[in-house]
Chains A and B, each alone.
Chain A
Amino acid sequence: MIDALPLLSPAWPIILGGLLCGLIPWYGLRKAVSLAMPLIAMAFWFSVDQPGTFGALEVAGFTFETFRYDGLSRVWGLIFIIATFLNSIYGLHDRDRLQDATALIYAGAGLGAVFAGDLLSLFFFWELTAISSVFLIWASRNPAAFRAGLRYLAIHVLSGVLLLAGSIIYATNTGSWAFNDIGLDAPGGVLIFLAFGIKCAFPLLHNWLQDAYPKSTVVGAVVLSAFTTKLAVYALARGFAGTEMLIWIGAIMTAFPVFFAVIENDLRKVLAYSLNNQLGFMVVGIGVGTELALNGAAAHAFVHIIYKALLFMSMGAVLYRVGTVKASALGGLFKSMPYSAFFCIIGAASISAFPLMSGFVAKSLTLAATAQEGHWITWLVLVFASAGVLEHSGIKIPYFAFFSHDSGKRVKEAPWNMLLAMGIAAFLCVFIGVFPGYLYAILPFEMDYQPYTFDHVVGQMQLLIAAMFAFSLLMRFGLYPAERPSVNLDTDWFYRRMGDGLFKWAWAMGGRLSASIQNRFGVAGRALTQRLFNLFSPAGAMSRDVPSGLLAIWTSVLLGLVMVIAYVAG
């Protein structure tokens, strides 16, 4: 389309922009760079009209394929570039040089990983996302964020190492570094799967997400929410499409965060849980593995990045102006932040998949594909989870932040740049919801799918209305005061039948169980550390200064051993 440009990965201009931002001391120029680079990357993206692999680099005897442009990577590429641009607008007010630089490098690394054609390039960008993104958490500059960042870094480096180890095994056994369908049965496949799983926040591997994201900065959380996990979804779609296990993993992912999200008080943490739940939908789509399902996963990732960013942006605006996002401390903000409230509601409606919103056109693809393949249990879980999404993201977020009881806080409306970024995101949510054809056209596979059929719309509306009805009923009778939002908020029809009591009981028991498990592990961990310390600390048995006579004996012992070995062999 734009022939004059070289066929280069759009990742490079963004990474370059990040490096430049790290060097530029002038605030204005830095912001200009961070706005311009995504646009340049966009031009690079548009300049390719033919699928193919470009940008091969030769380093130390390896060929790094840095730009593979095909049906799958181009969707992710496009949305990553859009997200980078939106993030740049959202961050215009921010004067933190470190954050400007790392946000761009991180986005560029994510983009680079999506376009990587071989496992080694994937690994490099994979690690780069981890190392650059941790600064967005550290940018909060408080001890809690620092520790969370360290944990985050450790687990992501582990993911990278697993990926590398798996790749080496895979490549030495198959003789190819190409990053295509891998499958669990391939040598090293399990390691690579685990590496992807950590980044994708599989159940039990997910804790880093809820741990780190809410502790990051206003802008940082928005940036973080877009790339890491969606990159993992892409990698799974590329390497493990159609893996049966993913259906179950995805189903669990959609369901379990609902409970946590409903009870959580920190609204950004609620969003982190709901992020996990949304990933579940995509993972199910990948597990089903049909063309329709993969399209569903891709479409979901695309719209999800937009509305999740929108929600994080609105909560970021609240945090920026009020200084907290604790549900118990907020309320009534719609009077002072009307635009933010409005955009937040659009984001919430999107994530809840209201018809005419972007979430609807994407989620219905996955649901249809699941039903088509006859995974009924999964389908039911997904439906239940959809109701849960409405509960914790669709209603809870805007309600407690902007409505609810009036906290009496009167603050300024969010800065213009935040509003602009939110406005664009909100527009995209509605636009894709009303004209899904544009989104469907760029999906990996061609398909003929009509989201707005009678039963789709009615089915979805039933679910949504029942949930909202339940919510307002409970509100009317004052069953959950905003001051104690950890009381069960689950009110949807599916759930009420089981009863609040059961849930409360299960929650309390679960809480106790996990506390006791943590306690045990904590005790065991402390005992182990103590033991190691006793052994290895400077005064410990293994590291004490030893008299030279003893060392001489050791030397002789080793001599004896080597001699025995030599004699036996010789």
Chain B
Amino acid sequence: MEFLASILPAQIVAHAPAIIVVVPLLMAAVSAIMPNGKLSWALVVISAAVSVVLAIVLTVDVQTSGVISYAMGGWAPPAGIEFRIDSLNAVLLLLLTVIGLLSAVYALPSVAMQIDANRQSLFYAAFLVCFAGLLGVAITGDAFNMFVFLEISSISTYVLVGMGAGRDRRALTAAYNYLILGTIGATFFVIGVGFLYMATGTLNMADMAARLPDLSSSRVVQAAFAFIIVGLGLKAAMFPLHLWLPNAYAYSPDFVTVFQATTATKVAFYTLVRFMFDVFWPDAAFVAVSFFWVFAVLGIVAMIVVSIQAVFQTDARRLLAFSSVAQAGYMMLGLGIGSVAGIAAGMLHLVNHAMMKGVLFMALGAFAVRFGIRRISDLNGFGRSMPFTSVAFTIGGLSLIGVPMTVGFWSKWYLGVAAFENGWWWAVAALIVSSLIALVYIGRMLAAIWVAEPQHDRDGDIVTARAPWLMLIPIWILAIANVWYFFQPEFLISLTNAAAEAALAGEAR
């Protein structure tokens, strides 16, 4: 990885924090005027690839020389907008860009089938805007700027979800619901930021953090805290604010589901961690109490209740969507534990969950491209109809359950250990119960795939198909990653540990 940094021109490396956001944003404009979808897609892949390289460069830079502070346009913070990268958001940038690249590669066949030809360029443009917005949220060190990027990514996501209407009209109501709720969340967030600005007189997060400890008994700060937590919690699908999510995942185009499920809620979770530890002062009484009473409690309720909701779904993507909310509960639990081990476990699960849900949603998308199926009962016999995709799906499913030999095991392991260190044995019990429920809902799909009779054509042969290579390759990269990082977890663990330590040490200060 150091190699990459050394071959890029120093100018680019120095401005990498800005370039990584600007490239997809500019490309979005270019993509919108492209004559056909394929060219736009090429632009998407190129800009995603560029951002991967830049993210690697930035990560290496953070690892070697500590926090990077980049003054936008040369205006020094706190007055100017600051882009700030430490170990916490470096992980996120890496995850976002790598997953972004994989799902961009995956997009072509899926989008070609699901979006009208004359709208594909616009679709890709909206995706690039969303991608840029998420990167901006992850990278910025300025609270108001974060709101702006959050809205950029959200508004483009509403569009992307709504574009599912070509295949399923329910996408329109899903997008509308998401729009209403997402706006409420964003409004809450910006109200909170406004309060903080009122109390501290600054919008720079590091600057706020320096001033807040003296203000911890201020009612304004406490109100700001509540608004920000609820606003960001809504974006992160924190129970019970998750109700926008299942439909938004279930009815949008497959590619959008893949991308949303693996990145959007993850970024929102990151912003929660950032605000809890690096803006508000975790030792302040109102923050300390909310670890347990908000995050741990709601996380555990989500882990159990929403998992049960998942069990009874009939639509495959809706099932996985509910499971995503339950998995977000795991991350909330990690955040609620509040120790380095807890945050590290939450971040680890964040990365792992992106890998496993990536495989699962991508595989469902591949099934849909070949057979146009949506319901679980339609998955019957896919083990023999589409064996390669089905095996990858199975790996993803096992990983979601947390079976050893898959990376999901480490998530639960570290989360369990962190909970035990706190003496929270009940959290471990909830973890186990939730895993068993996951076994049930994943088992339902696996049983349909592997046991039920496949479709036969008129001659009595099994109908078989292979997913397009552009889908199969990203699917298998993620599936192998799920197994690979079980055996070589050091890389992920060191990254997430560094992230947790950065969060707790408040390096942003």
**A562-B420 contact in complex given A551-B243, A569-B286, C-beta closer than 8 Å:** no
Residues 318-354 of B at the A interface (beta carbon under 8 Å): 318, 322
Which residue of A158, A165, A538, A563 is within 8 Å of B223 (Cβ)? A563
Q: Is B391 an interface residue (CB 8 A)?
A: no
Q: How far is the CB of A144 from chain B (nearest CB, A)?
A: 12
Contacting pair A555 B181 (CB below 8 A): yes
**A567-B286 contact in complex given A532-B312, A536-B311, A548-B177, C-beta closer than 8 Å:** yes
Q: Is B296 an interface residue (CB 8 A)?
A: no
Given the complex, which residues of A lie within 8 Å of B432, measured CB to CB?
A: 161, 165
Q: Is B222 an interface residue (CB 8 A)?
A: yes
Q: Is B436 an interface residue (CB 8 A)?
A: yes
**CA of A565 to CA of B181, assembled, Å:** 23
Interface stretch, picked from B37-45, B124-132, B224-232, B379-387, is B224-232
Q: Is B416 an interface residue (CB 8 A)?
A: yes
A interface residues, Cβ below 8 angstroms from B: 59-60, 123-124, 127-128, 131, 143, 146, 150, 154, 157-158, 161, 165, 168-169, 172, 532-533, 536-538, 540, 542-543, 545-546, 548, 551-552, 554-555, 558-559, 562-563, 565-570
Q: Is B493 an interface residue (CB 8 A)?
A: yes
**CA of A39 to CA of B6, assembled, Å:** 53
Given the complex, which residues of B lie within 8 Å of A128, measured CB to CB?
A: 404
Q: Which residue of A lies closest to B181 (CB)?
A: A551
Contacting pair A540 B312 (CB below 8 A): yes
Which residue of B185, B216, B293, B313 is within 8 Å of A555 (Cβ)? B185
**A563-B490 contact in complex given A538-B312, A555-B241, C-beta closer than 8 Å:** no
Contacting pair A566 B286 (CB below 8 A): yes
Given the complex, which residues of A lie within 8 Å of B421, measured CB to CB?
A: 172
Contacting pair B180 A552 (CB below 8 A): yes
**CA of A558 to CA of B410, assembled, Å:** 32
12 A-B residue pairs with CB within 8 Å: A60-B490, A123-B404, A127-B403, A150-B443, A154-B439, A157-B439, A158-B436, A537-B312, A542-B309, A543-B313, A552-B181, A566-B226
Given the complex, which residues of B lie within 8 Å of A157, measured CB to CB?
A: 436, 439
Q: How far is the CB of B195 from chain A (nearest CB, A)?
A: 12
Q: How far is the CB of A186 from chain B (nearest CB, A)?
A: 16
Name the prevailing secondary structure of the B interface residues.
helix
Q: Is B217 an interface residue (CB 8 A)?
A: yes
Contacting pair B222 A538 (CB below 8 A): no
Contacting pair A555 B315 (CB below 8 A): no
Given the complex, which residues of B lie within 8 Å of A158, measured CB to CB?
A: 436
| Count of chain A to chain B residue pairs whose CB atoms are closer than 8 Å in the complex | 132
**CA of A128 to CA of B243, assembled, Å:** 38
**CA of A559 to CA of B284, assembled, Å:** 19
**CA of A554 to CA of B240, assembled, Å:** 8
Q: Is B489 an interface residue (CB 8 A)?
A: yes
Q: Is B244 an interface residue (CB 8 A)?
A: yes
**A565-B286 contact in complex given A165-B432, A168-B417, C-beta closer than 8 Å:** yes
Given the complex, which residues of B lie within 8 Å of A566, measured CB to CB?
A: 222-223, 225-226, 286, 289-290
Residues 370-402 of B at the A interface (beta carbon under 8 Å): none
Which residue of B222, B436, B490 is within 8 Å of A570 (Cβ)? B222
**A562-B294 contact in complex given A60-B490, A543-B312, C-beta closer than 8 Å:** yes
Residues 227-257 of B at the A interface (beta carbon under 8 Å): 227, 229-230, 233-234, 240-241, 243-244, 246-247
Add 17 more A-B contacts to A563-B226, A566-B290 (CB < 8 A). Answer: A59-B489, A168-B417, A169-B425, A172-B420, A536-B308, A538-B312, A548-B176, A551-B177, A551-B180, A551-B241, A558-B241, A559-B227, A565-B293, A566-B225, A567-B286, A569-B286, A570-B285
**A559-B217 contact in complex given A150-B447, A542-B309, A551-B177, C-beta closer than 8 Å:** no
Q: How far is the CB of B467 from chain A (nearest CB, A)?
A: 23
Q: How far is the CB of B186 from chain A (nearest CB, A)?
A: 12
Q: Is B148 an interface residue (CB 8 A)?
A: no
Which residue of B229, B244, B318 is within 8 Å of A538 (Cβ)? B318
Which residue of A538, A546, A559, A569 is within 8 Å of B315 (Cβ)? A538
Q: How far is the CB of B346 from chain A (nearest CB, A)?
A: 18
Q: Which residue of B lies closest to A545 (CB)?
A: B247
Q: How far is the CB of B463 from chain A (nearest CB, A)?
A: 20
**CA of A150 to CA of B226, assembled, Å:** 46
Q: Is B477 an interface residue (CB 8 A)?
A: no
Q: Is B314 an interface residue (CB 8 A)?
A: yes
Q: Is B428 an interface residue (CB 8 A)?
A: yes
Q: Which residue of B lies closest to A550 (CB)?
A: B243
Given the complex, which residues of A lie within 8 Å of B234, measured CB to CB?
A: 555
**A555-B188 contact in complex given A543-B309, A548-B177, C-beta closer than 8 Å:** yes
Q: Which residue of A lies closest to B489 (CB)?
A: A60
Given the complex, which residues of B lie within 8 Å of A165, measured CB to CB?
A: 416, 428, 432
Given the complex, which residues of B lie within 8 Å of A533, measured CB to CB?
A: 312
Residues 446-503 of B at the A interface (beta carbon under 8 Å): 447, 451, 487, 489-490, 493
Q: Which residue of B lies closest to A549 (CB)?
A: B180
Contacting pair A565 B294 (CB below 8 A): yes
Which residue of A124, A161, A546, A569 is within 8 Å of B288 (Cβ)? A569
